[in-house]
């Protein structure tokens, strides 16, 4: 073997944020990754097809001419999300929706508290071929208050206990 070629990675969970943070993080991500799944918990959050379009444009506008990078766009699944908006989001190129329970992580204000109320949204996402990403954190059993941050809450999250029936 004379040569080994390794394809650039895909980052399936990146927080680019906005403004200075976007311009700071994006070059490093684009250098290492061909594509990245861009999280929508920004301020304001990415909720609509117009938001996806504007956020993608700000990402692409922040790339240098040498960057071969594709942002994979997501939207925040919120109590206000409708099936009609999901179809618009798909048409705008979103590939996934991210569900954040209310108040569990950075910028999760306005997150979901009634998971069952969004059944029609999940069904439309499925029909549209969109991925539903769940933000998974949980307090350890017996802890009613904050524990040692998101890493500890993530460690105690067990998706086998996730039941939305």
Whether 53 is in a domain gets the answer yes
C-alpha distance from residue 59 to each of 21, 42, 75, 127, 161 (Å): 11, 13, 15, 28, 36
Structurally, the chain folds into a number of domains equal to: 1
Range 66-73 average pLDDT: 91
| Closest listed residue to residue 153, CA positions, set 86, 87, 89, 108 | 108
Whether 35 is in a domain gets the answer yes
**165, pLDDT greater than 50:** no
Whether 150 is in a domain gets the answer no
Whether 139 is in a domain gets the answer no
**45, pLDDT greater than 60:** yes
Count CB atoms within 10 A of the CB of residue 15.
16
Range 9-29 average pLDDT: 95
Range 127-136 average pLDDT: 94
Judge if pTM exceeds 0.75: yes
Q: Can you tell me the distance from the alpha carbon of 42 to that of 51, in angstroms, rounded to the nearest whole number?
A: 11
**140, pLDDT greater than 60:** no
Whether 149 is in a domain gets the answer no
CATH of residue 115's domain is 3.20.20.140
Provide the domain limits for residue 85: 9-134
pLDDT at 135: 87
**70, pLDDT greater than 70:** yes
Whether 152 is in a domain gets the answer no
Mean of the per-residue pLDDT values for the chain?
Answer: 87
Location of structure tokens 């950075």 = 106
C-alpha distance from residue 41 to each of 1, 2, 4, 143, 160 (Å): 45, 45, 38, 26, 25
Whether 93 is in a domain gets the answer yes
Whether 4 is in a domain gets the answer no
C-alpha distance from residue 165 to each of 14, 81, 117, 119, 127 (Å): 30, 20, 11, 10, 19
Query: Could you tell me the pLDDT band of residue 149, with boundaries at 50, 70 and 90?
Result: low
């Amino acid at each position: 073997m004379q040569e080994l070629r390794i394809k650039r990675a895909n980052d399936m969970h990146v927080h680019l944020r906005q403004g200075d943070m976007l311009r700071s993080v994006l070059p490093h991500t684009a250098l290492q990754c061909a594509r990245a799944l861009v999280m929508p918990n920004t301020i304001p959050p990415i909720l609509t097809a117009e938001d996806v379009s504007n956020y993608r444009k700000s990402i692409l506008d922040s790339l240098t001419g040498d960057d071969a990078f594709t942002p994979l766009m997501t939207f925040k699944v919120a109590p206000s999300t409708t099936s009609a908006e999901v179809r618009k989001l798909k048409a705008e190129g979103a590939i996934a929706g991210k569900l954040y329970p209310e108040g569990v992580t950075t910028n999760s204000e306005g997150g979901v508290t009634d998971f069952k109320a969004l059944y029609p949204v999940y069904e439309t996402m499925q029909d549209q071929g969109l991925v539903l990403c769940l933000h998974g954190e949980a307090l350890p059993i017996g802890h009613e208050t904050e524990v040692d941050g998101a890493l500890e809450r993530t460690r105690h999250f067990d998706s086998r206990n996730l039941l939305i029936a």
